[in-house]
Structure 1
Amino acid sequence: MNQTKKGTILTLVAGFSWGISGISGQYLMANGVHVNLLTSLRLLIAGLFLTVLAYFQDKKTLKILLTSKKNLLGIVFFALFGLVLNQYAYLSAIHHTNAGTATVLQYATPVLVLLYTCLRERIWPSLSEVVAIVLAIGGVYVMATHGNPSELAITPTGLFWGILSAFTYAAYLLLPAQLIRTYGSLHVISLSMLLGGFLFPLFSQAWNYSFDMTGSNLLALFGIVGIGTIFAYTVFLHGVSIIGPVKGSLLASVEPVASVLLTVLVMGTQFYLTDFIGMILIIAAVLLISLRDLLASQKAHLGEK
């Protein structure tokens, strides 16, 4: 197997694993696990494992992050207002809608990042970017109303958390950008996840909620933490190191497709034609932005040659 094919397969596997994470979370919350406890468990367990991995990979970088006041403040800020808030908003969106709908709504994030970039740089979006923005807004509208603006097709609470998860995911991508460029994503994400895993339970008093230790619940917990967080993240990093971040983000768009498919197969959730139309519009917007970035990177690479 050549390296490009290997990187492609690893990235696709990571995207599908993230889909498993969403449906596992939906199953647990449908069986009485509170979102505060689930968020805490996911952050703490995955944070511990990934931090240990980061330590054995490069403990010097980990020490630099922990002993620098400026870096540590950046980690704390990202942990609370990027990572923790996004995890909580996403799981809350799943709780009030379903894994497929919540994942697709969150995938409007690249459009939000695009809008932020245009405002920050004070530039107008290109034609393809305008089309992507219109597709994303149209997709959210169709999913939320089924074409009837007089009433919502999903609960207002579910729509709120779904849109908030997209905004917080944008913060998740933007806030640690400088730290990740300097110290690498594994060290920054693992420390932030571990810190969030300690701090969020204090705010939410997660210990007040129970977890029924049945075989199916433990399997679902392994699905959201083991497969959907630890495995997916490490495999995605390895895949992206081979094929590059632009192509990696494009291939990772398999996540919402996997999430919708698993929501139907595992939970028996019913989607309507209008739901699929809205999902297709949002995914098309993301693919359009990703393809634009892929073409731009290829042109830059050719220019360097």
Structure 2
Amino acid sequence: MNSSARRTGLLLVITGAIFWGIGGTVAKKLFQQGIDVNWLVTTRLLLSGFLLLMIQYVGKDRTQILDVWKNKKTSLSLLVFGLLGMLAVQYTYMASIQHGNAAVATLLQYLAPAMIIVYLLLRKQTTLTRKDMITVSLALVGCFFLLTNGSISQLSVPVPAIIWGVLSGVSLTFYTLYAVPLLKKYDSLVIVGWAMIIGGFALSFIHPPWKMDINPFTFETFLYLLFVIVFGTMIAFWFYIESLQSLSPKESSLLGSIEPLAAVLTTVFWLKEPFGFYQWLGTACIIGMIFLLALGKQSSVKSDQNEKPLRVS
């Protein structure tokens, strides 16, 4: 693996995760202004998917945009990925927030990196190393402290919130690993772009975006929407996807956990919410995990090189 390409991959995945985190904070501002969660999910999936396909059309092999539908097996896989991957992880995550809160929902979703490692172990595609144990522990402990400030009591939420949150982690695990064969045949922008459109189109039947009254929207609201759709979704996905060319599934998934760090920091300095001691401790855990991955040697496991995960938030 070229060291320069690896550094570029690390930079892209971290930047993408930061945009996701900031996008989540901006989305919270939109919710505070009365924006419907389901409408926002549907709208950002449809528009971001379209923009990703436009990037593919302008800058890469445009023939792949339609070629992906010419093979029945590939078309079916793409539909499954769009519905059970993209849409599932979006819906379960938002449902967990709806029934509980964003902290618990995000914490439970971040069980996915550990689930991926367990899956690879069961498939005998990798072996459990000390580095795996340390990085997963740092990611989970860091996320716990960041999102709960060390208080177990904050996990006392309704059962539906816990169920939806665990399902979100399971959905993210499926989403991360299922797209591997598709990514071997087609550019990632094509796969993710179509998956977003499929997910957004399907959700439109339940929550039609055209029924939203946008007349009360202010200029500030439109700016927030633009940021969530362009930076918090399209560019975040684009950067993350490009990073998969040089990073393993475990690395990409674990580095994606910088997302809650970005969300917490923007919440503290922008929304002016308090930041406790254990949250700073969680910050240290996440930064330590990032340095461990960045400075460590890349895994030589074949499955790690071939299985390219995708991330969604």
Q: State yes or no: 1:194 paired with 2:197.
A: yes
2:266 to 262, 265, 284: 262
- Deviation for aligned residue 1:189: 0.6
Q: Secondary structure of the equivalent of 1:267?
A: coil
- Structure 1 partner of 2:85: 82
- Residue 79 of structure 2 aligns with an amino acid whose one-letter code is V
Residue 85 of structure 1 deviates from its aligned partner by: 1.6
AA at the equivalent of 1:197: G
TM-score, normalising length: structure 1: 0.78
Any idea what the Cα deviations from partners look like across 1:156-200, whole Å, max 9, x if unmatched?
355544443332221211111111122121111111111212111
Question: Residues 248 and 278 from structure 1, CA distance in 2 versus in 1: closer, same or farther, beyond 3 angstroms?
Answer: closer
- Aligned with 1:58: secondary structure? coil
Decide whether the 8 Å contact of 1:250 with 1:291 is kept in 2: no
The alpha-carbon deviation at position 245 of structure 1 amounts to: 2.2
Displacement of 1:250: 6.4
Deviation at 1:201, TM superposition (A): 0.9
Contact 2:112-2:172 within 8 A present in 1 as well: yes
State how 1:222-233 maps to structure 2 within 5 Å.
222-233=226-237
Q: Deviations over 1:1-53 (max 9, x none)?
A: x9667665544433322222111211112221111101100101001111222
Q: Distance in 1 between matches of 2:260 and 2:187?
A: 26
Measure, in 2, the Cα distance between the counterparts of 1:257 and 1:144: 12
1:183 aligns with 2:186: yes
Listed as ranges, the gaps of 5+ residues in structure 2 are: 303-313
CA distance in structure 1 between the aligned counterparts of 2:65 and 2:92, rounded to whole angstroms: 28
Equivalent residue for 1:302?
Answer: none
Kindly tell me the number of residue pairs found equivalent between the two proteins.
293
**After superposition, what is the alpha-carbon deviation per residue over 1:81-126, rounded to whole angstroms, capped at 9, x for unaligned?**
111121233344556434x765555333211110111122287633
How does 1:272-287 map onto structure 2 within 5 Å?
A: 272-277=276-281, 283=286, 287=290
| Residue 51, structure 1, aligned to residue 37, structure 2 | no
- Tell me the CA shift for residue 258 of structure 1: 1.3
Q: Which residue of 2 aligns with 1:221?
A: 225
Q: Are residues 68 and 27 of structure 1, via their aligned partners in 2, closer, same or farther at CA, if it must alter by over 3 Å? A: same
Gaps of 5+ in 1: 300-305
Does residue 245 of the first structure (1) align with residue 247 of the second (2)?
A: yes
Instruction: Return the TM-score normalized by structure 2.
Output: 0.76
- Note closer, same or farther for the CA distance 1:174–1:286 as it changes in structure 2 (3 Å cut): farther
**Aligned counterparts of 1:237 and 1:135: Cα–Cα separation in 2:** 24
Query: What is the root-mean-square deviation in Å for CA atoms of aligned residues?
Result: 3.7
- Equivalent of 1:203 in 188, 201, 206: 206
